[in-house]
Each structure stands twice: as C-alpha cells, then as structure tokens.
C-alpha cells in the first residue's frame, strides 16, 4: 500500500515538493527557487515553462531524498500561487506570453475603465471580489490584447487559460486534464459565487471566450493521473488543486465557522471560514470559496496584504542592510523600539482593506538618530500592522471578537514579529508545529480523495501548536502605535493622488 501523499506547493518565489505520512509528519522536502521578472515598475512576470520544470525537478528530488519510489505515493495534491495567469497553445503546450503574477499591476487600466463605468458593485455581488488587477480576468484580457492574433486564436479554441494549478495539471497529465477547482476559480472575477460556475455576463464584459477556460471541479477529487512514463512506470492520481491560502486554512484545520488563520508569505493572507455563508464585506474584504469536498462547500472571508515577506526581501536585496531574512529577529531586538519610524511597504499598491492600486510606499519619522535597526524593526512591524488592519475589518464584517489567530508561513518563525502581532492585535497568536501548512492542506485534501485519511476528524487529531504568544503591551502604547500607523497610511494614499 502506498504510504505517502506528495504535495506540490508552487509559490511565487519557490516550488516545493513535500512528502507527508499518515501522521502528517514531513518525510522529505525538495525546493527550487523561481525567478520573477520585473519588466516595468509594478509589473511581475514568470516563465511558466520554468515553473513546470521546477515541479518535475522537485518531485524526483523529494523521492530521492526520502529513499522511496514513485509507487509509494498514494496521490498528488497541488497548491498554487493564485490568480497568476498562464495562456498557452492547446496543441504545443507552449505559453504564448510570460505568466502574469498575482502581484502584477500591468492590467490595471482595464479595471479602472470598468470602475468608471460603474461595474464594481456588479462584480462584487456576483464574484465577491473588487475590480483590481490582482485577479485573473484583467490579466487574461491583457495577454489577449498584447499578443498578436491571440483573441481570434482563443475564440477558435486554439488557446487555453489556467491559473498555475490548471497549467500544472494539464502538463502533468500529458494534456488530458484541463480543470481547476472552485477555490482558484473563485479568484478569477469570472465565477458566480453562488452557482460555482462561470458567469456568462462576466465573460461577456471581459470578452473572454469560454472555450479557453478550465472546467471547475471540487477541491478534493481525483481529476486523473500523471501521464504514462512521466514519473516512471506508475501513473499517480492527481487528487487536489487548491489555492495556497485556502490550503493553509485547511492545513491549520480551521474547519469551524469563525476560525481564522494568517499566512506570512510573500504577501499576508488572513482568512476566516464562514462555512456555507457568503459574507459581502462592508470593510474592503473579499469573499471566495475555501474548498469543496463532495457536495460540501465552505466559503471564506479574506483580506490580502500584497507585501509582507517581500518587504523583508527588500531589506536584503534592495537596501542590502541584512544578509538573510533570519537576521531580522535579532536586529529588531537590538533597539528598544522603532523610535517613531514607520515603514509602509506599498511597493505594488495597497491591498485590503484599502484597495489603492497606485499607492507607493513610504518611510516616516526619520531623525538623525535613526539606524538600520530602526528601519528593519519598523519594516517587520509593518507586517503586523497590515495584518491588524485586515483583522479589524474582518471582525466588523463577521460581528465577532476573535480571541485566537492561527499563523503559518516563513515570517511566522520570527518570534519578535509574532509577539508584536499578539501585542498590536491584542489577541493570542498560535504558531502551528508544522509550519508547512499550505502544503499540508493540499496533502490532506488529496488524501481525503483517495481514502488516505478517513475524514476531517481523522485529520484534526494530527494538529499541534508549536508556540503561543499572548499580548503583553499596554493599551496606551498600542493606541499610540496604531495612530502612527494610521497617519502613515493616510500619508502614502494622499501622496499618490
């Protein structure tokens, strides 16, 4: 009997393959970094072929590291950077343009046009999303407009669109599977949240041919198998596609209504499980699908922060005041406080709850006494401030007071940041023992599809907390810091007008 589930975690900056056993233990990990290209300010692109080759590479590597064989794998689950858009030739499998990454703002002109036409309320009610270049529809439109003959070829059925999950499923199956799941489809600005199908009016507004779109399926389901000969003699079931943030929510076992997690990755993503209820936010948050298992559909309320871990990379690669991200914990502790310095890392605009695509970042409160450590500390603190903005909006929309925030992602390993998050949000922060909750969520969903795990209760028994952080900050200090942050946000917005 196959003893492992293989999770492919295809993110913005890296691709990872992780093998999990039945107790949710990590058996082996393989990772390969992915290159991002920045052709113009605010634009972010990737080579989709290199994404696929990185997936094949890490699959072979993780099996070698584990000392097992492909036949030991019961199923493959894929979790992916969402909204990132690929359009490829149906016959050759070759992308016709670089993948436009979720962060990229190059298609904002389409969103602004529709906003001026008063279309945002329509999309918000239908899709649960705001009109922003973050989502896939405007990126598809950009590619069809900027590659010669692409619109006609799409209408002729010669081109296919997919988010990264769809592209990988298509490639891994040898071109036999062109599907996506509800969690990814709900991030395209093309799917009706209630029917879980593409909406004809949305397609017409964007002028996107339906024939190029992947079929929408459940999140936990056997879509098919890997192509014959691709991974040796075996054909492994492809049993899950799930957006990375929904995967992390599932991996954190946030199965109850009102349970919340935050992932500190390239961006920050705060999700609340609202079960069967679709909440239309009044405070700048989004509604989308968490997952579908059988006939059960769970919806989520989400706030997206565009720049989180990317701000730490900026300290390393842009300012060059740190050599590696792990330094930041100690560098923050080198100073007693941020000395009034506030960093707003709006490098690609501001996401929830502000949705200001054209805003640029700023640094405030500099004095002659400001040091590198103050700037580092203020940058790390910005992750917590941005998360708190979303958390506050979420509590208003759901009419609840959250007592616990479950966290994961790379920056969640920074103890200073987690304590500051607990302090500024005045809530308990629980860090999961297994930090790879995104990959774990995809593994769980794939495992459920093939009977590797029996049900969600079987999964929940495996969840363990690594560290809990309790608020220690005085109320007056909290209010002062939040006021400084609020004024800094107001300044970058007004400066960019």
pLDDT truncated to tens, each residue of the chain (497 aa)? 679 999 999 998 899 999 999 999 999 999 998 989 999 988 999 999 999 999 999 999 999 999 999 999 999 999 999 999 999 999 999 999 999 999 899 999 999 999 999 999 999 999 999 898 989 999 999 999 999 999 999 999 999 999 999 999 999 999 999 999 999 999 999 999 999 999 999 999 999 999 999 999 999 999 999 999 999 899 999 999 999 999 999 999 999 888 899 988 888 889 999 999 999 888 888 899 999 999 999 999 998 888 888 899 999 999 999 999 999 999 999 999 999 999 999 998 888 888 887 899 999 999 999 999 999 999 999 999 999 999 999 988 888 888 889 998 888 999 999 999 999 999 999 998 888 899 999 999 999 999 999 989 899 888 889 999 999 999 999 999 999 999 999 999 998 77
Give pLDDT, residue 1. Answer: 61
CA–CA dist 243, 468 (Å, integer)? 27
Residues with Cβ < 8 Å from 477, sequence gap 6 or more?
Answer: none
Specify the DSSP element, H or E, that contains 390.
helix 372-398
- End-to-end CA, the chain: 61
CA–CA dist 66, 29 (Å, integer)? 8
Residues with Cβ < 8 Å from 440, sequence gap 6 or more?
Answer: 7, 18, 20, 24, 247, 251, 434
Backbone angles phi, psi at 387, to 5 degrees: -60, -40
Contact predicate 165/144, CB 8 Å: no
Contact predicate 359/346, CB 8 Å: yes
What secondary structure letter does DSSP report for 337?
A: S
Contact predicate 92/171, CB 8 Å: no
Give pLDDT, residue 259. Answer: 87
Assign 351 to helix, strand or coil.
Answer: coil
Structure tokens at 481: 């810091």
- Torsion sign across C-alpha atoms 375, 381, 387, 392: negative
Give pLDDT, residue 22. Answer: 92
Contact predicate 265/410, CB 8 Å: yes
Rg (alpha carbons) of the chain, rounded to whole number: 22
Give pLDDT, residue 181. Answer: 97
- Torsion, Cα of 314, 260, 135, 92 (10° steps): 90
Q: Which residues pair with 405 in a beta bridge?
A: 429
CA–CA dist 182, 221 (Å, integer)? 12
Give the residue carrying structure tokens 């199956």: 173
CA–CA dist 149, 145 (Å, integer)? 8
CA–CA dist 225, 236 (Å, integer)? 5
CA–CA dist 438, 440 (Å, integer)? 5
The CATH H-level (homologous superfamily) assignment of domain 4-245 is ATPase, nucleotide binding domain (3.30.420.40)
Residue 228: exposed, middle, or buried by beta-carbon count in 10 A (0-12, 13-18, 19+)?
Answer: exposed
Q: What is the DSSP string of 62-116?
A: HHHHHT--GGGEEEEEEEE-SS-EEEEETTT--BSSPEEPTT--TTHHHHHHHHH
CA–CA dist 286, 126 (Å, integer)? 12
Residue 399: exposed, middle, or buried by beta-carbon count in 10 A (0-12, 13-18, 19+)?
Answer: exposed
CA–CA dist 447, 455 (Å, integer)? 9
Q: What is the pTM of this model?
A: 0.87
Assign 279 to helix, strand or coil.
Answer: coil
What string of H, E and C letters represents the secondary structure of 2-55? CCEEEEEEECCCEEEEEEECCCCCEEEEEEEECCCECCCCCCCEECHHHHHHHH
Question: Which residue, 86, 78, 122, 84, is CA-closest to 104?
Answer: 84
Backbone angles phi, psi at 100, to 5 degrees: -90, 115
- Torsion sign across C-alpha atoms 3, 19, 453, 294: negative
């Amino acid at each position: 009997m196959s003893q492992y589930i293989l999770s492919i975690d295809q993110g913005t900056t890296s691709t990872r393959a992780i093998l999990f056993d039945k107790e949710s233990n990590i058996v082996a990990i393989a990772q390969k970094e992915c290159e991002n290209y920045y052709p113009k300010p605010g634009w972010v692109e990737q080579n989709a072929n290199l994404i696929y080759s990185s997936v094949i590479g890490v699959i072979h590597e993780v099996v070698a590291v584990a000392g097992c064989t492909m036949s030991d794998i019961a199923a493959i689950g894929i979790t992916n950077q969402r909204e990132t858009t690929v359009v490829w030739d149906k016959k050759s499998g070759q992308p016709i343009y670089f993948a436009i990454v979720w962060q990229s703002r190059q298609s904002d002109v389409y969103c602004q046009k529709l906003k001026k036409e008063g279309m945002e309320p329509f999309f918000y009610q239908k899709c649960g999303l705001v009109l922003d270049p973050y989502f896939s529809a405007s990126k598809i439109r950009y590619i069809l407009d900027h590659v010669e003959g692409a619109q006609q070829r799409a209408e002729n059925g010669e081109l296919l669109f997919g988010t990264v999950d769809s592209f990988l499923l298509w490639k891994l199956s040898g071109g036999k599977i062109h599907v996506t799941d509800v969690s990814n489809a709900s991030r395209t600005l093309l799917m009706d949240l209630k029917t879980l199908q593409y909406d004809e009016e949305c397609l017409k507004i964007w002028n996107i041919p339906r024939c190029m779109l992947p079929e929408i399926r459940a999140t936990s389901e056997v879509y098919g198998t890997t192509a014959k000969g691709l991974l040796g003699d075996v054909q492994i079931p492809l049993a899950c596609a799930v957006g990375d943030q929904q995967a992390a929510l599932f991996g954190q076992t946030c199965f109850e209504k009102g349970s919340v997690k935050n992932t500190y990755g390239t961006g920050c993503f705060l999700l609340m499980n609202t079960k069967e209820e679709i909440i239309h936010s009044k405070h700048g948050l989004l509604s989308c699908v968490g997952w579908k298992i059988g006939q059960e559909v769970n919806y989520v309320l989400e706030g997206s922060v565009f720049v989180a871990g990317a701000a730490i990379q900026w300290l390393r690669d842009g300012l060059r005041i740190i050599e590696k991200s792990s330094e930041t914990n100690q560098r923050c502790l080198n100073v007693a406080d941020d000395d009034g310095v506030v960093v707003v890392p709006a490098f690609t605009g501001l996401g929830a709850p502000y949705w200001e695509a054209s805003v640029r970042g700023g640094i405030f409160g500099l004095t002659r006494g400001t040091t590198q450590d103050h700037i580092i500390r203020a940058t790390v603190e910005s992750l917590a401030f941005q998360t708190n903005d979303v958390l506050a909006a979420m509590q208003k929309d759901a009419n609840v007071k959250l007592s616990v925030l479950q966290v994961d992602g790379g920056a969640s390993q920074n103890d200073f940041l987690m304590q500051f998050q607990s302090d500024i949000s005045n809530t308990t922060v629980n860090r999961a023992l297994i930090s790879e909750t995104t990959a774990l969520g995809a593994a769980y969903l794939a495992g459920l599809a093939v009977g590797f795990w029996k049900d969600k209760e079987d999964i929940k028994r495996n969840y363990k907390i690594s560290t809990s952080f309790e608020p220690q900050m005085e109320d007056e200090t909290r209010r002062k810091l939040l006021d400084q942050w609020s004024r800094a946000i107001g300044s970058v917005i007004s400066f960019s007008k």
